[in-house]
Amino acid sequence: MMKPMPASTTPGAPASTRDRLLDAAAELFYREGVGVGIEALCRRAGVSKRSMYQLFASKDEVMAASLERSAPAYQAFLLPPAADDRPPRARILHVFERLEEAAAAPDFRGCPYVAAAVEVKSPEHPASLVARRSKDALTAFFQQEAERAGAKDPTLLARQLTIVFDGAGARAVVQAQGLDGLAVATVGALLDGAGIHS
């Protein structure tokens, strides 16, 4: 799934108040948007508002912390494992194959980091800062693979791939349908143009 995923907790151990809040925030903000109120968030998490405010100063902090906490699982879903020894082209295409898979799901709402940043508007909002770090990490992955493959301009290619990723996710949301191979085909053409054939 493309939605933020809860960080793993010890099996059999009850989730802490903080974990329950962050899991509920990740789910609600992704599904319903950042306009979800504190009461709905606390009700979904099964915690009191008092407990929430003992942990976080504001809903904005909860939102940013939930995105930060989800980042490792989100990256693990998208990126090939470190031990994957396929060539760079296949490793880059892997990301877009995962995007295509996620976009076909009925609960797909796009990239959670793009969605949050677009909704909060302010580039200085704590959630926007987390979103920027997430996008920078994806771009860095693309650049590293482009460099390994000997691309003509790895920095430019990495930025183009990130734009395709974000644009493809947005298109799937707006059209309310999967991508039907469009993202993978578009990236294939970009990689061909950059001289990355295998």
57-79 pLDDT per residue, tens: 999 999 999 999 999 999 999 99
- The pLDDT of residue 8: 46
CB-CB neighbours of 155 under 10 Å? 13
Q: Per-residue pLDDT tens, the chain, 198 aa: give them.
A: 455 555 544 455 567 999 999 999 999 999 999 999 999 999 999 999 999 999 999 999 999 999 999 999 999 999 999 899 999 999 999 999 999 999 999 999 999 999 999 999 999 999 999 999 999 999 999 999 999 999 989 999 999 999 999 999 999 999 999 999 999 999 999 999 999 987
145 in any annotated domain: yes
CB-CB neighbours of 112 under 10 Å? 24
141 in any annotated domain: yes
- The pLDDT of residue 70: 94
136 in any annotated domain: yes
Residue range 21-43, pLDDT digits in tens: 999 999 999 999 999 999 999 99
10 in any annotated domain: no
Task: HSE, CB side, 13 Å, CA atoms: give it for residue 122.
Answer: 6
64 in any annotated domain: yes
Alpha-helix residue ranges (DSSP H) falling in the chain: 17-32, 38-45, 49-55, 59-78, 88-103, 112-120, 126-148, 154-175, 182-193
Place of tokens 């990740």: 26
Burial status of residue 59 (CB atoms within 10 A of its CB: 0-12, 13-18, 19 or more): middle
Single-letter code of the amino acid located at 4: P
- Residue 40 belongs to a domain with what CATH number? 1.10.357.10
8 A C-beta contact, residue 185 and residue 166: no
Range of the domain at 121: 17-193
Count of structural domains within the chain? 1
- The pLDDT of residue 15: 76
Structure token digits, residue 190:
């970009």
5 in any annotated domain: no
1 in any annotated domain: no
- The pLDDT of residue 53: 95
198 in any annotated domain: no
